[in-house]
């Protein structure tokens, strides 16, 4: 049997989950239009749709809820959150938001003017949508290796400095308000960015007066990979590495639903007092008072506590090891997955799994539906459906056509990982018999959430 890093916690509360028959799942997936986003949670055994807002909070976080100060302004829990962000991330100002995209909305409105270009290390769905809604154009400047699912570069999320420089030369630094660097890169497979690269990006950007904002959503996972892989960091604490990472940014957007270990919440943080002041003007329109944004006092308390728990080495070591256990089990059985195995998820390469299905017949969407049918395991398409359409109305054809098995933090056991692996390995044995899907309903933006499909 494969060796594993056992849990650094014990279980105090349990939540029963549904065990269903294949007939029940067939009915459920048809009702959901072959879109796993449209399944009811009650019909799911193991939910690997996302690691977002699905974490189990600790007893200390639950206890923190009881000291929520629900004042409309100046809640004490806001100050606790602000202190935690200053202490752990190192930014001076923080504006709480209801979740990550609330912070992306405010940042995009402040910094982007029509005609601007925003370079980034691969797009993320909500981030790019906010950039485009403000008249900006996203430009991918990630290294080429990131688009190759089999390349095992240790820092596959790195920014390609030549691509960044070429964009500056082409459109002019005046038309680039900031570069958005995601640590880690979700759609590349949860791949990290090296400290060396973060430093170099900051240097190049500063030389041209371009700001650097991190999408810090999974920054603790990024810090773990730096400790594991980058020379000079093995003896440093996760907290020290995280703080150094953040020193190469002017600010960040954060989805607290991931690496702050809470079910809801996020923030925008920065050092520039002018940007902060403009953020406080916008947050009252879209979220709430600057001292609560979109959050209840109790939720700010839970997030403040989660920020500290997340940088504990035993926590993050177990988390990354559990994801790796699932990935290695699949890879050992020959299932094509993205390598190296990332921080928050294992990504199955659907183009290689179902080579007979053309990309515009949605192989990853079909694979996600089949994994559900096989064992009640919910996963997510991250391919052509998620990529959406370009401004001319044509599909974007991303090189990566993936199904994401996203592991919630502190929620499932290794036995659950075995169930997931066995289901996918069994499906892989009969992969040749499957055909693709056609889309029968398509919403105008972020179509993957609500699109509906039918088998061909
Ligand atoms: N940035 C990244 C890299 C994300 O993965 C997400 C959310 C966001 C920003 C937006 O944050 O959901 O709090 O508004 N990712 C979730 C996922 C939805 O399943 O990958 P949010």
Please indicate whether residue 359, judged by its CB atom, sits closer than 6 Å to ligand 1.
no
Position in ligand 1 atom list of the atom nearest CA 256: 13
3-state secondary structure 221-264: HHHHHHHHHCCCCCCCCHHHHHHHHHCCCCEEEEECCCCCCCCC
Report d(CA 206, CA 63) in Å as an integer.
Answer: 43
Position in ligand 1 atom list of the atom nearest CA 186: 3
- Does 91 participate in catalysis according to the annotation? no
- Give the chain's domains with CATH numbers: 22-51+313-455 (3.90.1150.10), 59-310 (3.40.640.10)
Position in ligand 1 atom list of the atom nearest CA 50: 19
Q: What is the distance in A from the centroid of ligand 1 to the CA of 386?
A: 13
Q: What is the pLDDT of residue 441?
A: 97
| CB contact at 8 A, 83 and 305 | no
| CB contact at 8 A, 211 and 177 | yes
- Does 258 participate in catalysis according to the annotation? yes
Q: What is the pLDDT of residue 445?
A: 87
Q: What is the pLDDT of residue 48?
A: 98
- Strand-pairing partners, residue 381, are 403
- Does 448 participate in catalysis according to the annotation? yes
Please indicate whether residue 105, judged by its CB atom, sits closer than 6 Å to ligand 1.
no
User: In 10 A of CB 27, how many CB atoms?
Assistant: 13
Q: What is the pLDDT of residue 3?
A: 84
Q: What is the pLDDT of residue 1?
A: 63
Question: From the candidates 124, 178, 325, 354, which is the catalytic residue?
Answer: 124
Q: What is the pLDDT of residue 391?
A: 86
Q: What is the distance in A from the centroid of ligand 1 to the CA of 254?
A: 9
- Residue 169 CB partners (closer than 8 Å, separation 6+): none
The DSSP 8-state label assigned to residue 394 in this structure reads P
| CB contact at 8 A, 177 and 118 | yes
Q: Which residues of the chain have pLDDT under 50?
A: none
Scanning 311-362, the segments in alpha helix (DSSP H) are 313-332, 350-353
pLDDT in tens, 235-269: 999 999 999 999 999 999 999 999 999 999 999 99
Q: What is the distance in A from the centroid of ligand 1 to the CA of 256?
A: 9
Please indicate whether residue 108, judged by its CB atom, sits closer than 6 Å to ligand 1.
no
């Amino acid at each position: 049997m494969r060796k594993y890093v056992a849990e650094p916690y014990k279980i105090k509360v349990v939540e029963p989950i549904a065990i269903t028959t294949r007939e029940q799942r067939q009915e459920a997936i048809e009702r959901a239009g072959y879109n796993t986003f449209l399944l009811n949670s009650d019909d799911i055994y193991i939910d690997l749709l996302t690691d977002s807002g699905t974490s189990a909070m600790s007893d200390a976080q639950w206890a923190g809820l009881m000291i929520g100060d629900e004042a409309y302004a100046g809640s004490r829990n806001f100050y606790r959150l602000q202190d935690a962000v200053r202490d752990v991330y190192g930014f001076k100002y923080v504006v709480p938001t209801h979740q990550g995209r609330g912070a992306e909305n405010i940042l995009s409105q402040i910094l982007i003017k029509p005609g601007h270009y925003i370079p980034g290390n691969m797009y993320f769905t909500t981030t790019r949508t906010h950039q485009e809604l403000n008249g900006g154009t996203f430009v991918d400047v990630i290294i080429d290796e990131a688009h190759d699912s089999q390349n095992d570069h240790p820092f596959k999320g790195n920014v390609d400095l030549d691509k960044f420089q070429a964009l500056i030369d082409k459109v002019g630094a005046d038309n680039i308000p900031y570069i958005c660097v995601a640590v880690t890169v979700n759609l590349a497979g949860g791949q990290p960015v090296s400290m060396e690269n973060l430093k170099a990006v900051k240097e190049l950007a500063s030389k041209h007066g371009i700001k650097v904002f991190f999408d810090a959503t999974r920054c603790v996972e990024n810090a773990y990979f730096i400790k594991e892989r980058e020379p000079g960091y093995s003896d440093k604490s996760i907290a020290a590495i995280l703080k150094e990472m953040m020193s190469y940014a002017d600010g960040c957007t954060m989805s607290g639903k991931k690496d702050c270990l809470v079910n809801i919440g996020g923030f925008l943080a920065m050092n520039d007092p002018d940007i902060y002041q403009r953020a406080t003007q916008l947050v009252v329109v879209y979220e709430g008072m600057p001292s609560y944004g979109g959050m209840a006092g109790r939720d700010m308390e839970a997030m403040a506590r989660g920020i500290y728990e997340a940088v504990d080495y035993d926590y993050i070591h177990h988390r990354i090891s559990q994801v790796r256990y699932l990935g290695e089990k699949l890879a050992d059985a020959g299932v094509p997955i993205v390598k190296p195995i990332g921080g928050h998820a294992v990504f199955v390469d659907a183009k290689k799994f179902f080579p007979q299905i053309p990309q515009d017949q949605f192989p990853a969407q079909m694979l996600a539906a089949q994994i559900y049918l096989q064992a009640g395991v919910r996963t997510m398409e991250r391919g052509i459906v998620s990529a959406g359409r370009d401004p001319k109305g044509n599909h974007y054809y991303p090189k990566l056509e993936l199904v994401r098995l996203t592991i919630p933090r502190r929620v499932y056991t290794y036995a659950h990982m075995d169930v997931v692996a066995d289901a996918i390995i069994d499906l892989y044995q009969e992969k040749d018999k499957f055909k693709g899907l056609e889309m029968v309903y398509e919403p105008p933006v972020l179509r993957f959430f609500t699109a509906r499909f039918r088998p061909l």
